[in-house]
Amino acid sequence: MRIAATPPNKLLRILLLEDSDTDAELIAHELQRSGMKPVIERVDSAESFTAALHSFAPDVVLSDHALGQFDSRAALEIMRAIRPTAAFIVVTGALTGTQSVGAIRAGAADVIPKMYLSRLPASITEALDLRRPLHKLTERQVQVLRMVAEGHRTRDIAETLGLSVKTVESHRGEIMKRLRVHDVVSLVRYALRVGLIPLTFLGGVSHSE
């Protein structure tokens, strides 16, 4: 199901993981009411979600917390592997405090209760602004950034990606330049902020060569 509004100069592509027709319409209405002009692709299963990440290439994923056997945590892992530059926001009926914290630690940009959809446009804008520097990177550089942030050694990154050590080092230098950071710690912080890696990596990061 695709809900298309009048497109702006640059389309905002939103992938909506939602199994309720009513909630999907409410979300689309709230975004349009705020002045956003998105194109929304709606899916309701792991299979259709995975396919849409490839074919629709969203800027933002809005995901309900639980849909049958598929939940937002699993959706986030799939998105991180296929479309890591997209923002992921959980939009759900009810979550406990522990579940909300868990979603953020897993890499979600925000958790918005469906009863407070008026917060959603600002949340999307903030998430997109934070991720804008990622779009200065090539797909390969995003891969290198994520592996550096996960604590992989330069030699291991080179071996995994089929590159030379010198090429990996060159990529890392260019990533720092494009993100305007000056050390690996800052790279890790940024990768955590944009959800390229979950917070669970924070305690065990090692950057030895």
- Residues 113, 40 within the same domain: yes
- Residues 155, 92 within the same domain: no
- Residues 27, 99 within the same domain: yes
- Residues 18, 99 within the same domain: yes
- Residues 117, 145 within the same domain: no
d(Cα 46, Cα 41) in Å, to the nearest integer? 14
- Residues 182, 148 within the same domain: yes
Q: How far is CA 97 from the centre of its chain?
A: 21
Q: Which domain holds residue 144?
A: 137-204
Residues 76-119 pLDDT 10s? 999 999 999 999 999 988 777 788 888 888 899 999 999 999 99
In which residue are the tokens 């990996």 written?
168
Residues 112-167 pLDDT 10s? 999 999 999 999 999 999 999 999 999 999 999 999 999 999 999 999 999 999 99
CA Rg, the chain, in Å? 18
Report residue 209 as tokens: 């060569």
Average per-residue pLDDT in the chain? 88
Question: Which pTM was predicted?
Answer: 0.86
- Residues 118, 148 within the same domain: no
Domain count, the chain: 2
